C-alpha cells in the first residue's frame, strides 16, 4: 500500500479504485488516500473498494464511509471485489435491479455483552468458553475501556507489530495439520484464516510494543 501521488493537477475519474492492506499502517494510508481523493474532487470514483487482512467491514463501511464523499465498500476477497464492480457497472448502464449492497452497520451483540466488529475470533465467545464472561462490565463504556477479563493480541498490531512472529505461532501449532500455511509475506492461507494470542489472566492488558510503562 502506497500513498496517493501528490499530482494535484490530475482530475481523471476512473471507473473503480481498489486498495488492499495487510498491516495496520495500510489502514492509515487508505484513510489518507480517501481524504486525498476528496481534496482533488475525485470522489466521483464510485465506489472505492477496500480489503485486506487489517480491515473489518464495519471499519470500512462506517468509519471510512463517513470521511469519503463518494461510496466505499469492503471486499473480503477478490471475488467479492469483482461482484461489487459488476454491480457498479450495472448501475452505470441502467441494468434493472443492479444495486450496491447496503452498508454494514455496527451492531452490539448481547452474547457476553461484547462489541462485535466482525472479528474472525469473537473475544466474547472465547471468554464465555473460558467460563468468566459473567465478569464483563455491564455497560458499553466499560467494554470500550477494556474492563473485561483477558486480552487478544493479533500480529501486525500495536502489541505484536512484527508479522514475522507469525511463523513462531504456526510452527508451535503445526498449522499444516489443518491445511493452513504461511506465505513468504507472512500471510495465512487459505484466505480468511486467522491467528491470535488469547490470554485469560485477570491482569492481562493491551499495550503498544516499546511504549509500555
pLDDT per residue over 109-164, tens digit each?
433 333 333 333 456 677 777 777 777 777 777 777 777 788 888 887 777 877 78
Are 197 and 148 within 8 A, CB to CB? no
Position 49 scores a pLDDT of 92
CA 74 distance to own-chain centroid = 9
Contact 157, 55 (CB under 8 A): no
Among 76, 82, 80, residue whose Cα is nearest residue 193: 76
Spans of all domains in the chain: 17-92, 121-199
**What 3-state DSSP class applies to 79?**
helix
CATH architecture entry for 17-92 = 3-Layer(aba) Sandwich (3.40)
Q: pTM (2 decimals)? A: 0.48
> What pLDDT, in 10s, does the model give residues 62-106?
888 888 988 899 988 888 988 998 888 888 888 988 888 888 765
Amino acid at each position: 500500500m502506497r500513498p496517493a501521488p501528490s499530482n494535484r493537477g490530475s482530475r481523471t475519474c476512473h471507473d473503480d479504485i481498489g486498495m488492499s492492506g495487510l498491516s495496520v499502517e495500510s489502514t492509515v494510508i487508505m484513510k489518507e488516500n480517501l481524504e486525498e481523493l476528496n481534496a482533488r474532487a475525485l470522489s466521483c470514483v464510485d465506489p472505492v473498494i477496500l480489503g485486506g487482512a487489517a480491515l473489518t467491514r464495519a471499519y470500512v463501511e462506517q468509519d471510512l464511509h463517513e470521511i469519503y464523499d463518494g461510496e466505499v465498500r469492503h471486499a473480503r476477497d477478490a471475488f467479492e471485489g469483482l461482484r461489487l464492480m459488476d454491480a457498479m457497472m450495472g448501475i452505470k448502464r441502467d441494468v434493472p435491479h443492479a444495486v450496491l449492497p447496503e452498508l454494514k452497520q455496527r451492531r452490539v451483540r448481547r452474547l457476553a455483552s461484547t462489541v462485535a466488529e466482525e472479528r474472525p475470533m469473537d473475544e466474547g465467545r472465547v471468554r464465555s468458553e473460558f467460563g468468566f464472561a459473567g465478569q464483563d462490565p455491564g455497560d458499553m463504556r466499560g467494554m470500550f475501556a477494556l474492563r473485561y477479563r483477558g486480552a487478544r493480541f493479533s500480529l501486525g498490531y500495536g502489541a505484536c507489530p512484527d508479522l514475522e512472529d507469525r511463523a513462531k505461532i504456526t510452527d508451535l501449532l503445526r498449522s499444516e495439520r489443518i491445511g493452513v500455511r504461511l506465505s513468504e509475506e507472512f500471510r495465512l492461507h487459505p484466505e480468511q484464516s486467522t491467528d491470535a494470542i488469547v490470554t485469560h489472566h485477570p491482569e492481562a492488558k493491551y499495550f503498544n510494543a516499546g511504549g509500555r510503562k
